[in-house]
């Protein structure tokens, strides 16, 4: 059985899916008598945790890897000193094998990788355009799987398998900042709808959105996490000239 040390779970969530997984893992640890802390990954913030604890990392798949904000956080983690770490990612279809490069980075820092699990979400911002809001489910299946995964972590029945070569190629492809910039340039604002309430500026995880005379997006820092599109009260953001159906599975304050 997993030693009863405090569990520090760090998550990043653009639009709420990953929060659903991270909070279920947190809740399941607590139900099973572990002291668990759920913490958000924030841009340029480093993690602090005690020497004796286990670490959880929960993040979305993006571009067959994860967002730069997640990788920066991983690279800035303190030395592992043999602490046990587990990961979980939320995705739409296919992760490109991100568990592999993630494992390598953590081992090189001295962490012991005990389990990795990928969760397919029925609800994704990029597909929701094709669905009517009534068809968007609540990701119940993935959340149930997160509970089961946590019980397996507790019972030390999990694995962290690496898919070689391919996953490293995907990681190096998505490490190129130009990929993110060209993708994020599809995000635009309909200034006729915008009421300059300032929410997008407040919730942008990389401070790339600024309210000036009109809303301005600094594409050189934007990571296309879709938070602004998802939470704009006037639905004033556009992606690739299309309106995206908002997918508010969780309240914004839960993921900030």
Ligand X SMILES: Cc1cc2nc3c(=O)[nH]c(=O)nc-3n(C[C@H](O)[C@H](O)[C@H](O)COP(=O)(O)O)c2cc1C
Residues that bind ligand X (CB under 6 A): 13-18, 60-64, 90-95, 121, 124-126, 183, 224-226
Closest alpha carbon to 249 in 91, 122, 129: 122
Least distance (Å) between residue 2 CB and ligand X? 25
Q: HSE-up of 186 (CA within 13 Å, CB side)?
A: 16
Nearer to ligand X, 13 or 83 (CB): 13
| Distances from the Cα of 168 to the Cα of 101, 164, 171, angstroms | 6, 7, 5
Nearer to ligand X, 68 or 115 (CB): 68
82 φ, ψ (degrees, to nearest 5): 80, 5
Neighbour-count burial of 61, counting CB atoms closer than 10 A to its CB (0-12 exposed, 13-18 middle, 19+ buried)? buried
d(C-alpha 28, C-alpha 24), whole Å: 6
Nearer to ligand X, 208 or 224 (CB): 224
Nearer to ligand X, 77 or 89 (CB): 89
DSSP-derived secondary structure letter, 184? H
Nearer to ligand X, 16 or 100 (CB): 16
Least distance (Å) between residue 213 CB and ligand X? 28
Nearer to ligand X, 7 or 20 (CB): 20
Least distance (Å) between residue 33 CB and ligand X? 28
Least distance (Å) between residue 38 CB and ligand X? 14
Chain position carrying tokens 């908002």:
246
| Contact between residue 159 and residue 115 where contact means Cβ atoms under 8 Å apart | yes
Least distance (Å) between residue 234 CB and ligand X? 20
Task: Give 202's strand partners.
Answer: none
Residue 95: Cβ within 10 Å count: 23
Least distance (Å) between residue 24 CB and ligand X? 13
């Amino acid at each position: 059985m997993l030693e009863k040390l405090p569990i520090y779970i760090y998550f990043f969530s653009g639009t709420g899916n990953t929060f659903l997984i991270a909070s279920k893992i947190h809740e399941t640890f607590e139900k099973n008598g572990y002291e668990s802390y759920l913490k958000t990954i924030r841009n340029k913030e480093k993690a602090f945790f005690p020497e004796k604890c286990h670490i959880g990392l929960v993040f979305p798949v993006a571009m067959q890897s994860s967002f730069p904000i997640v990788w920066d956080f991983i690279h800035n983690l303190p030395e592992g000193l043999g602490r046990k770490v587990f990961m979980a990612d939320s995705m739409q279809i296919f992760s490109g094998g991100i568990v592999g490069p993630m494992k390598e980075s953590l081992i090189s820092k001295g962490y012991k990788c005990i389990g990795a699990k990928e969760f397919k979400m029925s609800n994704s911002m990029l597909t929701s355009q094709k669905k009517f809001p009534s068809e968007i489910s609540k990701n119940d299946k993935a959340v149930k799987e997160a509970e089961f995964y946590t019980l397996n972590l507790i019972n030390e029945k999990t694995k962290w398998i690496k898919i070689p070569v391919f996953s490293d190629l995907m990681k190096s492809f998505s490490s190129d900042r130009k990929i993110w910039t060209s993708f994020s340039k599809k995000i635009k604002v309909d200034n006729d709808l915008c009421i300059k309430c300032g929410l997008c500026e407040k919730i942008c995880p990389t401070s790339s959105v600024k309210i000036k005379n009109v809303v301005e997006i600094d594409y050189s820092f934007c990571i296309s996490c879709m938070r602004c599109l998802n939470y704009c009260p006037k639905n004033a953001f556009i992606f690739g000239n299309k309106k995206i159906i908002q997918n508010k599975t969780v309240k914004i304050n839960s993921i900030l």
